[in-house]
Amino acid sequence: MAPPGGHYSHATVANGLVFVSGQLPITPSGDLLNQASFEAQVKQTLSNVQAVLEAAGSDVTRLVQVRVYITSISHWPIFNQIYKEWA
């Protein structure tokens, strides 16, 4: 993953739980996909979440909560389909 863009870490482990910071559609090489399609942004962001979890010794099957912010409710069906295939 690209290094964090600020003074934070991608994840913290406490008492066996992995707390993942907010993730964005940024490639491992640091390219921001803000001009990419919504689908590409979602896939990159979820890929980042997966990478953080795996680096911390966890995986998506152990997720307890996922909070998602999207810019328009019209994107929800697309996001929901991609998320369903990912999780």
pLDDT (tens digit per residue) in 32-74: 999 999 999 999 999 999 999 999 999 999 999 999 999 999 9
Give Cα 13 distance to the centre of its chain: 17
- Provide the whole-model pTM: 0.92
Coil, helix or strand at residue 48: helix
**Rounded to an integer, what distance in angstroms lies between the CA atom of residue 54 and that of residue 2?**
15
Residue for token pair 């921001």: 32
Residue 6 pLDDT grade (very low, low, confident, very high; cuts 50, 70, 90): confident
Once rounded to an integer, what is the mean pLDDT over residues 8-37? 95
Distance CA 66, CA 49 (A): 10
- pLDDT grade for 12, boundaries at 50, 70 and 90: very high
